[in-house]
Chains A and B, each alone.
Chain A
Amino acid sequence: MYQINIAKLTDKTVHFFWDPVTRRTFIKKGAAGLLSIVAVGGGSTIFAYPDGTKVALAKGVIVADQSLCSGCRICEAVCCSRNMSEGRNSGALSRIILEKNYLSGDYEQNVCFQCSQPLCLDACPTDPRALHVDQKSGTYARDIDPDLCIGCEQCIEACEEVFKLPRPRYDPEYDVCIKCHLCHGDPQCVKFCPYGALHYKTSESGLKTGYPYI
């Protein structure tokens, strides 16, 4: 019951399930933008944008099991509590978003997939990019540097192109965007989930998850 089945993904499973996106992306970046997935060294794959920016695959990703979720939103609470400055706790500043139908009871943990081809990163207009690959912690998560971020929300719009619910969020108090950075290798939502509905999967050779795979 995983949302993502990593084992079944191969290099060639590229789905374009939402036409407008494909078209828009093509227009913006040209065909090469989508197809330049190249293998480098020992199996790790790097995606390169036409402007030369290379994006390594993330080495970790959070996967969610809806069947075990109780909809308690501890994941949201702990994400915010552990990551926001000044001890701010809020549902609107969580980097994992729990959608819940409160009458019929369908839960959906919307985690950041740390996309192989991160549209958010591509959209980031600053130079150097505020949205960068977190190499320091070794997770290769797509992280936002708050010192560089200008709060333009273009990453949010880019994510919204493919995912109904954009994963990066806007923090109005500091005028910056925030997004899941896998807590630099120790995701707190996974640690605190009382039912084991969230898992942290890692691979040294990189994981092909998110856009364009799912």
Chain B
Amino acid sequence: MADTFGWVGKILRVDLSERKTDEVPTDNYAPQFLGGRGLGAKIYWEAVTPEVGVFDRRNVLILATGPLQGTLAPTSGRFMVLGKAPQTGPVESYNRSGVGGHWAPELKWAGFDALAIQGKAEKPIYLWIHDGKAEFKDASHLWGLDTYQTQTEIWKTHGNKSRAMVIGRAGENLSRIACILTDSGDASGQCGFGGVMGSKNLKAIVVRGTGSVRVAKPDKLADITRSIHHLFARKPASNDPFKPAQAGFKYNIWGGKPRGALTLFYGELLDLCNNPTSGYTQIPDGCYACPIACRTRVKGPDITNGVALCAQSFMYMESLVLQPEKGYSKITWQAAKLADLYGINAYDLMAIIPWLGDCYREGVLTEKETDLPLSKIGSWEFIEKLLRKIAYREGIGDLLAEGGQRAAGKLGEKAQQLSEFYYPRGGKFGGYREHWAFLGGFPSGFAIPQLALMWVLDTRDVFTSHNFISQIWGAADTIVQNENNAVPDDLIPILKPVMKYAYGSEEAAEFFSRDRKKLNWKWAPQVVKRAHERAILKDSYVVCDIAFPYVFNANSKDHVGDTSLESQLFSAVTGHELTEAASYQKGDMLCTLERAIAVRDGRTRKDDVLRDKYHETADAADRKYERADLEKAKDQYYQLRGWDVATGIPKRQTLEKHGLKDVAEELQRRKIF
């Protein structure tokens, strides 16, 4: 594969039980399955059967980069972690989780496009992958260390240019909400793959490469990169820091949020950072080749330094409620960092913490039986104790380490009911916390049909909605509203040209009927179909979901973005010409492949449902997600995809049309059709 561009040509398969590795040519999968999420789905399909449990040694942990990693392509520091996910529940099923930072390019430079790790080591080890070689190293001295300490120790051995994906206490103790962390805050959070690493006795995956990734058209790549930099960077076309940023220029992520807005919120810590004499600072921190640097790195004399973004840094917002005068305080920050040190998925903690509060108020749980200061949620005392219990599986922590949804299921009907609020998807494939099921959060927000349809069809929380929400936020920002107080009525005129460009009709922006009494579901299936395709393509190239797909431009008059950027990058890097239209066919194929995996794990139309609570409660404008409307939208979505409408299972001819004959045969053999 010497003359291949983009991909470096090898996938490393690791068997920890046998302490053996072998290599598979990437040619077997690429360019058909691109990389990242697409490549991982195909590897998973071949390697793991539904009978395998998540902590079973036969479960395969896949870390997959795409063709763009290790090149100049903007936001190409990302990669995907895939496998059977402990967090999905009650039925364990295949899932994916994206990670940023600087790990992915290092793996490509070391000569591998992806890793597929199976088996279980007898005693703790870590993988040391460098320049085409993979070694098994003893990790008994690392076992028990937190994620920062582990990396510091690894750098002592392998140099600070090596990058490591590590687990903390939570992963070692097979928590279903354990993350895999790299550097100071980039993590594969959702899905709980940290527990899978723990079950394999694998403490860390360390990579270092001095090789290179070849680009087919470097000049073209530079041109596209330059234009993308202009779209997203804060100081477009200006390299002089002493000149003010262009007047009126908005930072083009999520429709114009200022840099750092997704790391710190107003309060004590931000004030300290803005005070030049305090000794605290916040500085931008970019993932590899990213012009945006959405996160900031917070430093201070008495806090844990590092980066954190959005859900991670806003994990403990209860502290703002307890101490409103302080706002976002050092406690809020340290709580997020403590979760990182233990290696716990902050996003599920955002459900567990308020749910514990609800249970305490309703009398389901008491301070005595949980041994947690539940009356003081928001304090350092509470979070320190809670996270320790989860990481070490002590007392109630043993239950909570199973994830919020599973824990609630075991605590009785009342606790279960209280948790429904946080876990929108019903059926057997839930387990993921609410993530924009309503605009502005539930139940004060507004119902948007597209969001509900995305939620029922996805396999985890709806990351697709990041893109969808970003255009709504952008429209809101244009008229000086924000994500919390945006009124859909005001946004529709701004969104019309954007939706016409991105989804083919201005009407797609009308979320409700003209009389404002009912939701307008007409365009939901088409919009969601395209949004899913874009999402899976973005995860397969792999680029960042904050920047791509670029639907909303905060700086132009009509706000129309450019959705062809990803396929242009792919074409320039790999030399395979891929038009935007052709890329959507590929996205369609990958969506169907992912569905086939879910179906093989037992998913049917019956699992594509929202919890009753989400149908029963009216939104801020007294509109509801009506069951009949949602079912009709599902019918249309399945039809558009070529899936069976009655069961939600991809049809045989659809799979064959997409060139997935082997998939069709296995589903036939399992009598799933």
Contacts and interface: CB of A to CB of B under 8 A. Distances in A.
B102 A190 contact: no
B204 to A, nearest CB: 14
A195 B235 contact: yes
A78 B286 contact: no
A118 to B, nearest CB: 25
Given A90-B209, A102-B160, 12 more contacts: A72-B287, A77-B288, A81-B215, A87-B5, A87-B216, A88-B215, A89-B72, A89-B215, A192-B229, A194-B235, A194-B293, A195-B235
A122 to B, nearest CB: 27
Contacts of B211: 90, 92
Contacts of A81: 71-72, 215, 218, 221-222
A103 B214 contact: no
A89 B102 contact: no
Given A81-B218, A90-B211, A103 B70 contact: no
Contacts of A89: 70-72, 212-215
A174 to B, nearest CB: 12
Given A65-B241, A89-B213, A195-B284, A72 B290 contact: yes
B615 interface: no
Contacts, number: 139
B20 interface: no
A132 B608 CA distance: 68
A87 B218 contact: yes
A91 B184 CA distance: 20
A25 interface: no
A68 B240 CA distance: 11
Interface stretch (A35-43, A109-117, A147-155, A196-204): A196-204
Contact of B235 (A88, A103, A104, A196): A196
Contacts of A197: 241
A73 B299 contact: no
Nearest to B163: A102
Chain B binding surface SS class: loop
A199 B106 CA distance: 27
B666 to A, nearest CB: 38
B318 interface: no
A91 B159 CA distance: 15
Nearest to A106: B299
A78 B288 CA distance: 12
A84 B233 CA distance: 26
Contacts of A196: 235, 238-241
A70 interface: yes
A105 B293 contact: no
A19 interface: no
B210 interface: yes
B297 A73 contact: no
B568 to A, nearest CB: 16
A210 interface: no
A72 B148 CA distance: 20
Interface in B149-177: 151-152, 160-161, 163
Most buried by B among A68, A93, A102, A192: A102
Interface string A179-214: 000000000101111111111000000000000000
B239 to A, nearest CB: 4
Contacts of B234: 194-195
Given A84-B212, A90-B70, A195-B241, A73 B289 contact: yes
A101 interface: yes
Most buried by A among B105, B163, B234, B299: B105
B293 A70 contact: yes
Most buried by A among B209, B214, B289: B289
Interface string B292-323: 11000101000001110000000000000000
Given A72-B291, A103-B184, A190 B212 contact: no
B221 A91 contact: no
B225 interface: yes
A90 B212 contact: yes
Nearest to B299: A105
B619 interface: no
Nearest to A88: B212
